[in-house]
Structure 1
Amino acid sequence: TLLCHRLTDYLIKEDQPSKGLLPLSIAVTKIQESSTQLTSIHSDICKLALLSKCFQPVLNFLNVDITDISRENDRYDVKYFLTYYYYGGMIYSILEQYERAFLFFQNAISITGTAISQISIESYKKYVLISLLLYGKLQPMSKTVVTYLNRSIKPFCVPYNKIVVAYSNDSIDDLQEICLKFFKEFSKDSNIGLVKLVIASLTKVRIKNLTKTFITLSLKDIAIKVNLPSPEAAEKQILQMIENGEIYASINQKDGMVEFSDYSEKYDSLQMYKTIEHQSLIELKINQCISLNEKLKQLDYEVAINPKYIQKTHNDDSV
């Protein structure tokens, strides 16, 4: 594995990241005891895939849920675990597979037994935005993780904390103000695109809420109520939502009136089913992450009591 890490560093230095994808993929399959086992080389492959913008080879690994961690020389550096899920989340975000990206960033911030790292902080920033984009709120996590985030991560993510508050207050004006105020920071984090998607998603939430109150409404009134710049912008947004199956409605082009169809019960039932199904999936992934976390702790413990490790530590202390 050390050779693979050095090859990765060399190819990045030489600006030839794509050349490492095949040999490292072969190396992983030779080291793995099963396809669901995570190795430190997984992180290298993801990094090279990001830099080369060649994602297909790495998806063969990313699409497999991890259930075990490889023991490499009786140890495993947790940074490879964190970077694998961080890089993987970034790849899924680029591919607009946001549900999968959400699970990866969630895994990255769920490892609480480690020192604060920049990877954990950056993962949390993206986790916040994608959680709002997908679910309109932050998804619940275990008390241990929440305590860790509140104490160690959130203080470094002030603009993102503000976005959560503005979104929960249903304030597009506040969201836009936050976007302008912290534009440089969001851009530096490579998150400005996600921030804009989050703002747009709140517009969709507002339109969905209108369908619960009104049977008909003009495009002009809709634009005013959801803070869109014009009736034309409202029409474009509504047509897109109709096409995506997010609302049931029709637009009368003669008078600019929108009629919301009475399929809400069927739609809500379908959405409820999907929500329950997806919540069960999230809970399953959280439990898998907790299990991996415990395996990491057990691995650390076994390394700590290993006679070779103790002897090495003693020798280092004696120097």
Structure 2
Amino acid sequence: MDDFCSKASKMFKEEKYNDFINHVKSKTKQLTSDEIDYLYNVSVSKNIMPLTLMILNLRWKYIKKVPDSQLDKWLNLTQDFLIGVSSEVNPSFIKYLFRLSLKFGEASFEIGHSMPDYSRKAQFTLLQVLDRSNKISEITPIHYLVAKLGLFNKKLYELERIMNCSFLQVCSNSKVTGVQCVLFFYYIGSVALILKNYSRVNYFYELAICMPSKSIHIASIESFKKQVLIHLITDGSQYHVPRLAPSRFSSIVRHHSCEHYSKLASLFTEYIRGKGDKESVLSYINKAKTFWIIDKNEGLIKKVKTALIKHKIKKLTKVYASLTFKQLKKETEEEKADEIVTKMIENREITGKIDRKNETVIFYDVENQVAVDEIQDVCEDLMKYTEQVESRLKDVNLDTRYLKQLLFTEGLNKDR
């Protein structure tokens, strides 16, 4: 074993990385559990980092042979190794680093169901690996796991840096599968959804839907369902399958309860355009309640109900300059429409004015609002100047010198 380690160390120092990898692979195929432990200790003592990396990969490959009492030990050793040396890994060994990180993260996630500390440590460790290897903005095999751990641990703000990246390529030195990419886009899109960053939600869910693959992954279909609801909430518009989605996507989604989402979107937009009624939308939401629960989209459905009236009001602002409360309630089919529109004006979702005396709401667009504000400011200034002029005139009229001068001037004019 010592000769093996010495030869491996020599190859590494001579930068014969391929020879080093082949040498280690050939000598570690039939090792026993005790021999793996021994090799690990030797590689650490001789500070042969790449050998330690490959031995740890070997250990996790046969982790089921390790007694449960020693599992905690190997988790801690792996965590210390990943945090301590990831920035020093040569590109030739980067795939082994991510392979080890993936096995460590998956094991920690499983244990985390009963002992949450393990999953929290794994999230921190994998983020460190991505940061030190400068692979935050390149998709690696562990990106999806980092996002999954963040959702599981409810530590979402730690993922904001990843969420705000534009992912244009995958890591060339690691083997990233299509499934890992789709899962990453879906999980990180869900993180953005919880944080209400809707621009990033659309970005990641669209990537999950358009990801080329031999078969359509369930995460792509779930992304489509959420996109339908998000577009109703944010824009009040109907979402359609993107042009860049796989050719089979449109036909496949019809067989995965997606027709309920498309039907809801159709009823929603018809109501907004004045071609349908509110009751049809709400009754269909209740009718398809089972599907929303199965897909765990009840929260988004509640927001769809709230958005229904708001988008109807926004549509009315483009048609009418003003409406009485009675007309507003009739148009929206909502008894509390006046309260809703008041809150929308207060929150600056629309621009307008409430005339309580006449029970009327006056709508105007942003440009008109700016013009009205400017006119009001000018009028106020004009009134101030007028008051000043009038007060000056009173003072002048009461001045005897001015009166004498005025009379003298008028007399001269008459003589002429």
Provide the TM-score with structure 1 as the length reference.
0.74
Which residue number corresponds to residue 43 of structure 2? none
Structure number, greater radius of gyration: 2
Is the Cα contact below 8 Å between 1:206 and 1:226 reproduced in 2? yes
Distance 1:27 1:264, change over 3 A: closer
Which residue number corresponds to residue 110 of structure 1? 210
Is the Cα contact below 8 Å between 1:112 and 1:148 reproduced in 2? no
Report the secondary structure of 1:29's partner residue: helix
Q: Map 1:181-192 onto structure 2 (within 5 A).
A: 181-192=287-298
Task: Report the RMSD for the aligned CA atoms in angstroms.
Answer: 2.4
1:122 deviates by: 0.8
Find 1:154's aligned residue among 254, 259, 263: 254
Which residue number corresponds to residue 132 of structure 1? 232
1:142 deviates by: 5.2
Is the Cα contact below 8 Å between 1:7 and 1:20 reproduced in 2? yes
Find 1:57's aligned residue among 133, 158, 161: 158
Partners of 1:59 and 1:212 in 2: CA distance:
37
Partners of 2:143 and 2:199 in 1: CA distance:
20
Report the secondary structure of 1:155's partner residue: coil
Partners of 2:241 and 2:260 in 1: CA distance:
21
Partners of 2:330 and 2:366 in 1: CA distance:
23
Deviations 1:186-215 (CA, angstroms, capped at 9, x unpaired): 122121221222233232222122223333
Partners of 2:147 and 2:244 in 1: CA distance:
28
Report the secondary structure of 1:259's partner residue: strand
Distance 1:239 1:114, change over 3 A: farther
Aligned length: 262
Is the Cα contact below 8 Å between 1:85 and 1:108 reproduced in 2? yes
Which residue number corresponds to residue 213 of structure 1? 319
1:244 deviates by: 3.4
Instruction: Report whether the alignment pairs 1:260 with 2:363.
Output: yes
Report the secondary structure of 1:54's partner residue: coil
Which residue number corresponds to residue 28 of structure 1? 130
Deviations 1:87-122 (CA, angstroms, capped at 9, x unpaired): 111111111112211111111001133312211111
1:183 deviates by: 1.2
Find 2:120's aligned residue among 18, 22, 28: 18
Report the secondary structure of 1:86's partner residue: helix
Unaligned runs of 5+ in 1: 268-319
Deviations 1:68-89 (CA, angstroms, capped at 9, x unpaired): 101355x321111111110111
Is the Cα contact below 8 Å between 1:12 and 1:48 reproduced in 2? yes
Is the Cα contact below 8 Å between 2:139 and 2:176 reproduced in 1? no
Deviations 1:274-313 (CA, angstroms, capped at 9, x unpaired): xxxxxxxxxxxxxxxxxxxxxxxxxxxxxxxxxxxxxxxx
Find 1:180's aligned residue among 286, 289, 300: 286
Which residue number corresponds to residue 307 of structure 2? 201
Is the Cα contact below 8 Å between 2:130 and 2:136 reproduced in 1? no
1:249 deviates by: 1.5
Partners of 1:154 and 1:265 in 2: CA distance:
43
Instruction: Report whether the alignment pairs 1:243 with 2:343.
Output: no
Instruction: Report whether the alignment pairs 1:7 with 2:104.
Output: yes
Partners of 2:191 and 2:242 in 1: CA distance:
26
Is the Cα contact below 8 Å between 1:166 and 1:175 reproduced in 2? yes
Find 1:69's aligned residue among 161, 170, 191: 170
Distance 1:209 1:62, change over 3 A: closer
Residue identity matched to 2:121: K
Provide the TM-score with structure 2 as the length reference.
0.58
Partners of 1:10 and 1:235 in 2: CA distance:
55
Report the secondary structure of 2:323's partner residue: strand
Which residue number corresponds to residue 145 of structure 2? 44
Report the secondary structure of 1:80's partner residue: helix
Report the secondary structure of 1:175's partner residue: helix
1:63 deviates by: 1.0
Residue identity matched to 2:328: I
Of structures 1 and 2, the one with the larger relative CO (CA 8 A, separation 6+) is 1
1:55 deviates by: 0.9
Which residue number corresponds to residue 281 of structure 1? none
Deviations 1:42-79 (CA, angstroms, capped at 9, x unpaired): 11111111011111211111111111101355x32111
Distance 1:168 1:214, change over 3 A: closer
Is the Cα contact below 8 Å between 2:211 and 2:246 reproduced in 1? no
Report the secondary structure of 1:71's partner residue: coil
Which residue number corresponds to residue 219 of structure 2? 119
Partners of 1:131 and 1:205 in 2: CA distance:
11
Residue identity matched to 1:25: L
Is the Cα contact below 8 Å between 2:238 and 2:266 reproduced in 1? no
Unaligned runs of 5+ in 2: 1-97, 370-416
